[in-house]
Structure 1
Amino acid sequence: MNIRLKPVWIALALATSAAQAAPVHDWYVGAGGGWAFAHDIDDFSQGVGKDATAINAFVGYNYNENLGAELGYLSTGDWDIAGQDFNSKGATLSVIGRLPLGDIFSVFAEGGGYLYHVDSVNGGDDNLAPLAGLGLTARLSDWVDIQTRYRYMVRVGDDPDNDKVGSGTKRWVSDISTATIELVLHPNRTVAAVPVAAPLVVAPPPPAPEPVDQTFNLSSDVLFAFGKAELKPEGMQALDALYQQIVDVKPKDGNAMVMGYTDRIGSDANNQALSEARASTVANFLIGKGLPADKVSIQGNGESNPVTGTQCDAIKARAALIDCLAPDRRVEIRVTGVSNPAESAPTEQPAQ
């Protein structure tokens, strides 16, 4: 071997480093045939045809879409010089650099060596020739490619030791070109998955605010002593519970109207004043618990809108009439506004 081994070692080094850098799994096999041309063979005999038939087979591995390595067999054909046969055949080892031109076509270049054996009248010889090549590949399917390849090998047959002085023969030396059409199979290649954009998830719009219009009813007999407007202890407890119910409704931009009612016992003026005083007492208590003062209003309705209607008209005894008219003595709190249904919880009316 001589200095012409260097391309092979370079090819091996590049292939090894590429394998370590970006391993993938696309190996392939192929074969082809075509034309061989011996550029310098007519130096040894005039009228010698320079053309011959080339045959090749190979196996390779693509480390990624731009770089691969290939090991193959190449026969450059036979030449007849003055009745003597000359031919070369051997192994090729090369690094493949590839440039995709879209989804179907790609171009490639290769560099490496041709470890050949030649036969001639001087006997056989093995040597290494530098090899360079260019090609165009068309992808027919996931498994099958077809490609054309041109290769150039330098000084095939060059061996000074076989230049026998005085023997009447001289070892032939020639640069050789080959042009082949090749079928390539990729048993393990698949189409790269096309990235699919994640579906756009649109958050559902927030629930539309729902109107709030709820009335809470408290008995005045629970809140106040008869004819009075000062809260009893049990009345404060009842308003504490009522306040929590209003908070649970979560009214936004809400308003609270506190309306006081009395029974029909006594004068209209006294009943009107008493209903207003009781409504004011309840409103002040709720404001003290946390309701905004500017959102709370009061209304005294006196003895209007009785709940009992005429059911107590036949009762003459005062104590019995007071008991019968108890439902008319009440305080109503009407809460209005809007509420988010996702935040609202069901509420219950307080006990009468």
Structure 2
Amino acid sequence: MKKRALTILILLVSLVSNVQSKNNDGWYIGTKIGWSNFNLLNYKKMQDIKHDESTNAPIFGLFLGYEFNPYFGLEIENDTTGFFPHLMFQKSKEHIQANNVQISTKLSYPVTDDFRFYTRLGGMMFWENLASKEDLKKTFTKHSCLFPSLSVGAEYIFNDEFITRFDYTWKSSVENIMNLSKPTLGDAVVSFAWKFGKSKINDMFTSYTPETSNQQYVALNENINFPFNSTELRPISYDKLRKINNEINNIKSKKIYITLSGHTDRIGNKEYNQKLSEDRAYSIKNYFTSHGISENQINIQGMGNQYPLTDQVCKDIESRALLISCLAPDRRVEIEVSADQ
């Protein structure tokens, strides 16, 4: 069990360390507003409410997050539920306000560079429980005050900076989960966020004033990743290639040269991987030539599995399925665009 947990941790570290994104890594901060349903919450001030009575309330929150790559991120948020009586349609008008803090991991599934689906897995505790020594002692017991949570949602990114998203979150006590009871809380939320402090390393042009008029400089470096044992381009790869092609067309130089270096993971023999790495590079070349770039401007080289990005991270993984996932950053074509100035 410990070995499997360590393997999964190594896999997550590999994804965080090696999968690169042009637009999606960095910090973001946002606000959320929505509606929460307290149907089965055994809250101190609500003990007299019957389980079949509806106890809905508005929810408002602030959150801070960091995305390591387009697929994985972390978030921390503070939510306040109940700015007016929960029992809006009942005689009781008692004001109840609950504050909680939640930490979660965010796993995203990009459809395009700007639109993606995601899930968040984490845990929530009310501030009053965090301040109680007795409640903290029960954190890892059946009667824990920790509420594991699961969210599903979709988000759209405007101009690489502004995020709007909608999600639904299920929260339930550990005891209810163990008893297979239905979720305690359900939050339907609309969120708005702003990205700041993002890394621009991968999409930054590196240029300088040459000493002579024909000196060459590197104008662009990018990676395109491939599925296991495949030369097929993913839909998200086409989005990225379109942007690269536009950037190439915007380079103010009559002499542009493109070097495509194909790579594979370590699974398979040397001869097969050499051929696979070349074929991956040719699939990128075919895209560029179909968009007006001359074959004479493109140089192909197959690297096989000689230059892995995950050599140390994935070396102890025995499960084939986990190994294939861990080695994903190695299955790539490196695109280097040079120009004479």
TM-score for both structures, normalised by structure 2: 0.43
Larger Rg: 1
Structure of higher RCO (CA pairs closer than 8 Å, 6+ residues apart)? 2
